[in-house]
Structure 1
Amino acid sequence: MTFQLNARSAAELAAERVAQTRAALTAMIDAHVEAVARSRDYNDAAALAGYANSTVPEWAAEAQAFVSWRDQVWLTAFGMLAEVEAGTRAIPTASEILEALPDITWPAE
């Protein structure tokens, strides 16, 4: 039986933590975006976004509101990740991430 020890530097370990954070954050944000789309009875986010150019004004407005919100969600998430990568922010918890995301404003029904 043989063993191999792979020593990793602090920088390598930190980079691994950031990569894990990026993957977890991406999965969590994806799930949140998908859940918001499904809350309006769409199959998924892509289906809802696909109505942005609909000839039905109500559907187009709903899709455009969703796409605008989705963009802001990802900009917020990428900003948090950049802070983590720069070392200016601790790795956020799931609840901290969700609390930091903007709320969607749907068009008046």
Structure 2
Amino acid sequence: MKYFRSASSGAVHAYEDDIAVESDDNGVYRFTTAEGLAVDAPSDLVPCDAPATSGQSVESRKRALSAVVQRHLDEVAKGLGYDDMNSAVTYADEPAVRRFQDEGQALRAWRSLVWAACYDLLDRWSKGQLDEPNADELIASLPAFTAPA
């Protein structure tokens, strides 16, 4: 799930993972369905973490935390100029431009390390071995990305 909060009302809106979210240079978001239907979001919507989890199942909370991790992966890839993580890793096996291949390989390897750490932490949490992490704690516990030289 992708979560957005209205700055004016405080309401949290959730969108399924198959909704593509793009932002222009002014911070205006556009949501596009898998069928290609696009809509501009209200100008006061900003990305946020999953809302409070009271009353939600463990599986639902795991999905919400996993969405936070996916957003983190996508943000790092976007910081290197890619559309998202999925786009970035397509360059891993493309030798035409060495820089893109190196970044794709580094991002692909890092993505695997991140998900392994995330699933391990969520598994330990669901078994009661540690407290439920909030989004910031979860991201802080993950391996950091090191860009290739």
Task: Name the TM-score, length of structure 2 as normaliser.
Answer: 0.60
Deviations 1:57-103 (A, max 9, x none): 21111100001111111001000111011111111111110110111
Can you give the 5+ residue segments of structure 2 that lack an aligned partner in the other structure? Answer: 1-55
Matched, 1:58 2:138: no
Question: Which residue does 2:119 correspond to in 1?
Answer: 78
When Rg is computed on C-alpha atoms for both structures, the one with the higher figure is: 1
Which stretches in structure 1 are left out of the alignment for 5+ residues? 1-15
1:23 and 2:63 aligned: yes
Q: Aligned match of 2:80 in 40, 43, 48?
A: 40
**Separation of aligned partners in 2, 1:65 and 1:23:** 25
Aligned residue runs from structure 1 range 89-104, under 5 A: 89-104=130-145
Give the fraction of aligned pairs with identical amino acids, expressed as a percent. Answer: 31
* Greater relative CO, 1 or 2 (CA 8 Å, sep 6+): 1
SS in 1 for 2:80: coil
* TM-score, with length taken from structure 1: 0.81
Give the 4+ runs in structure 1 shifted more than 4 A.
none
Higher strand share: 2
